[in-house]
Amino acid sequence: MQFLAEVLGHAGYDTVAACSAEEALEQIALGEPDLALLDITMPGMSGLELGAHLRENSTVPFMFLSAVEATESAKQAAAYGAVGDIVKPVDAGRLRA
């Protein structure tokens, strides 16, 4: 996630990185971001659980970051109410676009 924060930061976006879902929730409580990028696999609460929490308790749009094949990842993202998904490894050039 730190890599993504750096890429987006260099592209002019304000970013905050969190190492866990719990830390992400603390950051969101301080101020809702325009978008949350959630890695599906995180220590503690999973990205899927965090996405479900955001869907039920906030208006923050979110996207999942996954190592799963694009088609499967897109299905999973849609099922949880995500606005999209990104498959790892991330293409920095495509992310900035």
Name the nearest CA neighbour of 81 among 68, 62, 65. 62
pLDDT tens per residue across span 22-78:
999 999 999 988 889 898 888 899 999 999 999 999 999 998 888 877 667 667 778
pLDDT of 18 > 70? The answer is yes
Residue 56 inside a domain? The answer is yes
CATH of the domain at 20: 3.40.50.2300
Determine the pLDDT at residue 43.
84
SS3 content of the chain, % helix, strand, coil (to 5): 45, 15, 40
pLDDT band at 16 (very low <50, low <70, confident <90, very high): confident
pTM for this structure? 0.81
Looking at residue 26, what is its pLDDT?
A: 95
Domain that holds residue 39: 2-92
